[in-house]
Structure 1
Amino acid sequence: MAPETSLSGPQIGSRLRTSCVYESVCLHKDHAFTTDSTQNTEDTEFHHIHGTNVRLDPTGTQATRVESFANGVCFSREPLSPGEIFLVEIEEKELGWCGHLRIGLTARDPLALETVPEYSLPDLMDLGDSWVFAITRNHNRVVEEEAVAPEGEGAGHGGLAGGHRLGDGREEGGRRLPRLGGGDVEEEAINPKPKTFFTDSHLHIEKVKIPMDKLVGRSRPGRFSHILDDLYKTNALPPTARRSRIGVLYVPKGQGLADMHVVINGEDMGASAKGIPMLQPLYAVVDVYSATKQVRIVQVEYGFSSLQTLCRKCIQKNIVHRMALDWLELPEKLKHYCKYE
């Protein structure tokens, strides 16, 4: 029997390259049966109908509020498909304002609006057929609890009325609010610490799979991403910060209804609205409000994962810590890619 020998850095790098290519090809072979590749292939853009204080760049993918703190409501150019995420990154903030980005869905065709509402909350929602969620710095996770109907008014049916918006139990200023079922919302239930690292290639929301690559912003561009190690728990990018990425999508629930989900930096915040009718097309709503001054659409690619993504996943599974990448004899560009630089 041949004696056991330890592998050098070059040998490990060589084995990883071989394993990476082999596993990537195998994963590609199986991936076709699990990935929904029916999503739109055209670039996502903002609708040319928008608030009076919004200016779009020539590509239609960047929206800037040029004055005041309101009239920053924008819409997606096309209705969203079921499971399709409309994802934006905060590019600029403006000091001196209280409040942040708002995001959601509307069944109102932007072309049919006489005027674009000054605010998404409450103006657009007051028009009906709209569901909007206000993003706050600390408390965005939905606390789901069955609503208790007053006696004699549908008690015993359970659930929420169609299109009912669930809250996170706090106002934007952080004041504690009563939850739907009575009592106060516990701090731990609103903002629990992440229990796992984001090493999966996709975010799973029920039967919907969204590629993880584009969902998480970098807190320190040019440096390691916070998503690879335990630093995530202490160095997480605040939802309202520059480079934070926020998206909205709807998930079919049967009987022509859907739930709206908000995703912040790769985490699903839960169903922020339930019982949304799917009979009419649903457009994404982004309100470039108050302290949020400029956002840019992040294009999310559906279908097959790229060979680069599959190679990165394979390498990450074979190292004990992100710094171990520097010990491998791999091309520098591949190392940077694996570090999300």
Structure 2
Amino acid sequence: MASRHFSSKAYWENRCNGFTPKFSFQGQTPKEWTVWNKTARKALLSCLGPFPQKVLLSAETEYSVKDGPVIRERVIFDSEEFASIPAIVLRPTNPSPEKSLPAILCCHAHGSFGKDTVAGLRSTPEHVSEIDRMNYDYALQMAKAGFFTLAPDLRGFGERRDKQDISPTRDNCDVNYVKGSILGAFPLTLNIHDMMVCIDYLETRPEVHPEKIGMMGLSQGGAVTAFTAALDNRIKAADIIGYVNPWAGFGLSRGNFCGSQVVPDIYRFLDTHDIAGLIAPRPLLLEMGLYDDCFYFQDLWKGFEGVQRIYRAAGVEAKLESDIGTCGHAFVGKQAFNFFSQNLLSKA
């Protein structure tokens, strides 16, 4: 009897066995990096498809109150005709000269509460548990360290999450991906657009130095950080937490992703380390949990080595850092404060 194949999981694993994306970096020299950088960036933009048209921010501040060592604000602004972004601002209480503070755009993971827990809102025992489990309130921690932070809700999360009346057990990200796919618009692209609008907003703030803006995020927030920083040079330093690892493992073998983290054809052309590598020559920190059960450490290390090859070829290996923690899927937080201080606070 002929050999037959029924398993979809085995099918995808076999399809990517030994596969190398078309534009994955293979070079070693600065000249090869320069050529690759242009080609890979073009391929990435092609996969993402069209971006929405920006509109006036029409920003509003709903409240601004002292919360211990920081000022906490709730702000809302528009990113396109039919989309608005709710976000939390955290900033030091000490007055600063105008346009002097470094800022960090802080993206949340695929969690239950969107921006709220990243911004340190301990409203319920569930909020507290999420923060403590993942050391998750990095927007608050960074604000306490002297940075102006902005924590927005990504599409489909927090205040931007819709109830799924027809099938409430389905992943909201997957539902939105299917909806967008028939229109040629994808949640990842829309979130990248929104993060670029968040940077527009930061540039309007009187406290923020426009040349001292960084970005960080855990898990899905790491994915959005990687893609956004790869394309927007206004991000002067980036911290990707627990994300950069090969598509073949966490994606095609384990299916550990959602419709907010992918676009068509992306792995045909680039792996995650290539996308993160497009951030070069700007400073990049990759954080990895030794006991991460979402993105396995051995895969995260492969991702780091891939990025390292790109930074080495670009002649800026010293601008790539790693932070390995004895933790699970979490903000490691041992080097992030010094990393952003060196690359934003001390920046002339």
TM-score w.r.t. structure 1 length? 0.27
Please tell me whether Structure 1 or Structure 2 has the larger radius of gyration of its CA atoms.
1
- Greater relative contact order (Cα < 8 A, sep 6+): 1
User: Which is richer in helix?
Assistant: 2
